[in-house]
Structure 1
Amino acid sequence: MPDVSLSAPLTLPNGQVLPNRIMKSALSEALGTRDNAPDERLSRLYRRWGDGGYGLLVTGNVMVDHRHLGEPGNVAVADGRDLDALSRWAKTAQDGGSPIWMQINHPGRQGNPVTTVGGTLAPSAVGLDIPGIPAPRAATGADIEDILSRFATTAAVAEEAGFDGVQIHAAHGYLVSQFLSPLTNLRTDEWGGDIEGRARFLLEVVRRVRAAVSPGFAVGIKLNSADFQRGGFSEDESREVVSMIGDLPVDLLEISGGSYESPAMMGTAVSASTASREAYFLDYAVTVRDLAPHIPLAVTGGFRTRDGMLDAVRSGACQMVGLGRPTAVLPGAARDVLDGTVTALPSPSISVPVPARFATHRSVRSLGGLLDLQWHTDQLHLMGAGKDPDPARPVAKTLLSSLQRNGIDAFTAARRGSGGGASSPVGSAFALARHRILDPAVRLVRSRTGR
């Protein structure tokens, strides 16, 4: 096995060269305008990351349809209306020397019901296992064709705007992964059934996107190792999908896992032994290395030490190390790891301020995980405002900022006649925990902030 360092460049199948082996993985920024366009806040944030020494920057969710957003503040790209703003976004990141890929996505049943026009849709009319969230309608053949075309269009606009590639989001419970899961895809037509039928949508998205862009433009995929739900998308099925992807012109495959019902990507649904060591999904990556040998693998989730990252790359288990939440508090994490300034990355622990006897309750754990995400989103918003991250930010401030961003109605059981609360990650958790946790938590925030 060659002795590969983290600073070694990586040449992708399409010829694009990434300057090193550390990737800033997607984090949902929620910094789009009211019209879902990028603005100066995203440029400020990506200027920080662009100067951070990463071999690759992957944006947060960019939705392929303005009518279907995962959360308020998503950027959406369905045509060239925001081409100038998108170009500024891409150039800001590239000025620091890092390539930037746009992560393209459709939320499916995880769409925010308040911002969704015409209701959410999914492969089948299977709702989230979260009380108060309305069930989606089953996508028609015309819906599927429309969405496939939208993925291709978004990729073409990304290339025109100057991005270096796109990453198709096929993980974390969004639409593409909904097609993959037997829990959410009950179809009996060509888009459902066995794993070959359920994988058809992902494979067709890849083909449409690849046909819409030039050969030098990169096309990547983010795929779950599993969705960590009983009867759901399993590691065995995931390996079958990797084998299918191996026959396509894919430039980088990022491995993650879980969904917002079972957030393994945050270490909360994996086993205790897995969560206690670095890289939750590295063992799985080793098992698929030979199934698509020409596609470089990136693994995201749990990397915190320079030695752990170096061992993963040197062992050949993966070719890229993905960093998510650490980059929200240390935007120059890659540079600091590569030059030896930092040997262990910060890993703040965010928890719900409730008595210890309630801490293991399912609702509390769910809310705690989603507050963790929102705490890190707060850090992105600070950088978007031109400020530094605040690693000491109290969780009470995060709860307040979440309420301010989404509104108190986002967390109630009935909103604008939708029949449910917001199904962004934080909205879903609040809908689940409102009566047992939210009201006391709001009182706590008010008592601490005087508001």
Structure 2
Amino acid sequence: MNHADILGQSLALPCGVTLPNRFGKSAMSEALGTIDNHVTPKLERLYGRWAQGGTGLVITGNIMIDRRHTGEPNNVVVDDERDMPLLKRWAEAGKSRGGAIWVQLNHPGKQIPRMLASGDTLAPSAVPFGKELKSAFKTPRALSEEEIQEIIQRFATSAHICQKAGFSGVQIHGAHGYLVSQFLSGHHNRRTDQWGGSLANRMRFPLEIYRAIRQAVGDDYPVSIKLNSADFQRGGFSEEESMTVAETLANEGLDLLEISGGNYENPAMAGAKGVRESTANREAYFLDYANEIRKRVSIPLMVTGGFRSAKAMAQAVDSGATDIIGIARPLAVEPDLPNAILAGQSGVVSRVTPRKTGIKTIDNMAMMEVSWFSRQLHRMGTGKDPKPDESVLLALFKVIATMGVGSFKTRRLRANN
């Protein structure tokens, strides 16, 4: 089969739902909500654009389950039904060309910038960030048993609301150092109760979240998790632990495992740590892990990070290493990339390349490239095309300014409520 035939195959999930092709838009945080965390029409436009581009599964970015705890200004929060009309329009836009749209549900835990946090930040344990990020984030407060149970139910409530609004499925964000990832990590989770210590205790949190969501949405609704292959941190979440968590959730009935890696302190998900030549040649950062986990689980896998060419994408699926090709940054610049590949255009390669300013201090900032790609999402949200030649430095300054103003407004809004 050629590339288009391989990537154009449908995929049946354990719950009985079928995805139309093998392209999955991995979550990118859009920050296109209002300052008080409501849905806006920009999200409808953006996801309609990706649906038109041929992506079979689009996963939203960073939908928060508690408006008291958001990871950045303008995150959307779904903790009640007040936005139901706009949620329904967003869901319809994502499904408008026959694909699926899943909502990524998240709690940031202690990953709330100091300039945004108006009260305590929460985590499994009161472990601060390392010295490089300590000044940007508060030392968190350890969650109580009652708060843990409340958060579990919030995930389930948000999932049920999204199902009611017409979204095709949900994904638990268990990666990149957010709260679920913090519970899984022996570095961040130093509890001595049923939620910490052994891996069985540390993975109790995502397991109970999954069970609560499954009870809320039923057996025929897709439920996924995004999980780190490892967090690449001393004393943290290891590959072997990750595989055990994946195997446990698969046995519970999970529909899809998305594989990524890293956190704010070690952002491997963005390729920031560099990759071996063999990894670069086949493009996918986490394919070695996928090949190993494939021996232990039979559920569909989505590998995200590094894919750029139709050839590498097709090879990864054809080899059986992954079922869905997770792509993010290429779709921020080329929303029609899946259609181009599925149309059989030979040699299709994404135009995404590293974004640099030439100023070493700025280029080493993890936020720099993220800011540039975020700007492209905002352009599509306003009905414009992405701008591949936009100045990286200008995008960074605009995003920093927007975040600063947004953080101030958010703190003031919360203080007045």
User: Under TM normalisation by the shorter chain, which class is it?
Assistant: over 0.9
**Structure 1 residues 410, 209: CA separation in 2 closer, same or farther (over 3 Å shift)?**
closer
Task: Note the C-alpha offset of 1:244.
Answer: 1.2
Match runs of 1:46-195 below 5 Å: 46-129=47-130, 130-132=133-135, 133-195=137-199
Q: State the alpha-carbon separation in 1 of the partners of residues 108 and 364 from structure 2.
A: 20
- Alignment match, 2:380: 383
User: What SS does structure 2 have at the residue aligned with 1:407?
Assistant: helix
Q: For residues 252 and 22 of structure 1, what CA distance do their matches in structure 2 show?
A: 13
Local SS of the residue matching 1:190: coil
Q: Tell me the residue number matched to 1:403.
A: 400
Mapped partners of 2:369, 2:17: distance in 1: 35
Corresponding residue for residue 332 of structure 2: 328
1:19 aligned partner: 20
Question: What displacement does 1:383 show?
Answer: 0.6
Q: What one-letter code is carried by the residue in structure 1 that aligns with 2:367?
A: L
Percent identity of paired positions between Structure 1 and Structure 2: 48
TM-score computed with the length of structure 1 as normaliser: 0.86
Partners of 1:45 and 1:150 lie apart in 2 by 26
- The ranges of structure 1 where at least 4 consecutive aligned residues each deviate by more than 6 angstroms after the TM superposition are 408-411
1: CA distance, partners of 2:153 / 2:116: 21
Q: How many Å apart are 1:399 and its aligned residue?
A: 1.9
Which residue identity does 2:41 align to in structure 1?
A: E
TM-score, normalising length: structure 2: 0.93
Structure 1 gaps of 5+ residues are 417-451
TM superposition shift of 1:246: 2.2
SS at match of 1:110: coil
For 1:445, the equivalent position in structure 2 comes to none
**Structure 1 range deviating more: 243-252 or 21-30:** 243-252
- 1:111 CA displacement: 2.0
CA distance 1:374–1:201, shift in 2 (3 Å): same
For 1:43, the aligned partner's letter is: E
SS in structure 1 at match of 2:6: coil
Q: How many residues in Structure 1 have an aligned counterpart in Structure 2?
A: 403
Q: 2:8 is matched with which residue?
A: 7
1:98 deviates by: 1.4
In the alignment, which residue of structure 2 is the partner of 1:348?
353
Once the two structures are superposed, residues 298-356 of structure 1 have per-residue CA deviations (whole angstroms, 9 ceiling, x without a partner) of 100000111101111111001111001000000111111211336111122112442xx
SS at match of 1:35: coil
Matched letter for residue 44 of structure 2: S
Matched, 1:255 2:259: yes
Summarize deviations over 1:190-225 as a string: whole Å, max 9, x none.
000011111110111100000000322110010000
Rounded Cα–Cα distance in structure 1 between residues aligned with 2:405 and 2:381:
24
- Bigger mean CA deviation after superposition, 224-233 or 321-330: 224-233
**Any idea what SS the aligned residue of 2:110 has?**
helix
Flag structure 2 segments of 5+ consecutive residues without an equivalent.
413-417
Task: Answer whether contact 2:74 2:406 (CA < 8 A) is retained.
Answer: no
Deviation at 1:270, TM superposition (A): 4.7
Aligned to 1:447: none
Partner residue of 2:415? Answer: none
SS in 1 for 2:50: helix
CA distance in 1, matches of 2:279, 2:375: 24
Partner of 1:442: none
Alignment pair present for 1:292 and 2:297: yes
Which residue number in structure 1 is paired with residue 213 of structure 2? 209
Is the CA contact (8 Å cut-off) linking 1:68 and 1:112 kept in structure 2? no
Check whether the contact 2:226–2:260 (CA below 8 A) recurs between aligned residues.
yes
Instruction: Give, as a single letter, the amino acid of the residue that structure 1 aligns with 2:27.
Output: A
| DSSP-derived class of the 2:102 partner | strand
Residue type of the partner of 1:343? V
> Contact 2:73 / 2:407 at 8 angstroms: preserved in 1?
no
Distance 2:405 2:40 in 1: 26
Secondary structure of the corresponding residue to residue 299 of structure 1: strand
Do 2:157 and 2:216's aligned partners in 1 also have CA atoms closer than 8 Å?
Answer: yes
Cα separation, 1, equivalents of 2:20 and 2:252: 24
2:39 corresponds to which residue?
38
The offset of 1:60, in angstroms, is 0.5
Find the counterpart in structure 1 of residue 342 from structure 2: 338
Confirm or deny: 8 A CA contact 1:67 1:115 kept in the other structure.
no
Contact 2:14 2:255 in 1 (8 A): yes
* Structure-2 separation of matches of 1:53 and 1:266: 24
Secondary structure, in 3 states, of the residue corresponding to 1:392? coil
